[in-house]
Amino acid sequence: MKILFITATRIGDAILSTGVLSELIRRHPDARITVACGPLAQSLFGGFPAVERIVVLDKRPLAGHWFKLWAETRRESWDLTVDLRRSLVPYFLRAKQ
């Protein structure tokens, strides 16, 4: 199972989202997870064993960081996306869930 986990770009919010990621890993132990997060949170999520890739989101004008995320993840076939930011990226990726 391939999961895209989109979390906050700010470190405090990213720390709070680690519980959600831990639960995803518990429920899907064989999942291959890509995390999209801010630059300060990159090392935080790199310590999770199921995380195989991290996409660093630097905030850009006119929501350019969301376009970057879409461009870097659109070629993948996602079984599940968890978007704690409520962006439109999962809709455009056409994830199964």
Which domain, by its residues, includes 50?
A: 2-93
How far from 49 is each of 31, 35, 60, CA to CA, in Å? 10, 12, 29
CATH number at residue 11: 3.40.50.2000
pTM for the model stands at 0.79
Lowest-pLDDT choice from 22-36, 42-56, 71-85: 71-85
How far from 41 is each of 17, 83, 85, 91, CA to CA, in Å? 11, 16, 15, 24
User: Is residue 75 very low, low, confident or very high in pLDDT (cuts 50, 70, 90)?
Assistant: confident
Beta pairing partners, 51:
33
Query: pLDDT tens for residues 23-41?
Result: 999 999 999 999 988 888 8
- Report the alpha-carbon distance of residue 82 to residue 67 in Å, rounded: 17
Q: Which two tokens stand for residue 67?
A: 């376009």
Residue 76 per-residue DSSP state:
S
Total tally of structural domains belonging to the chain:
1
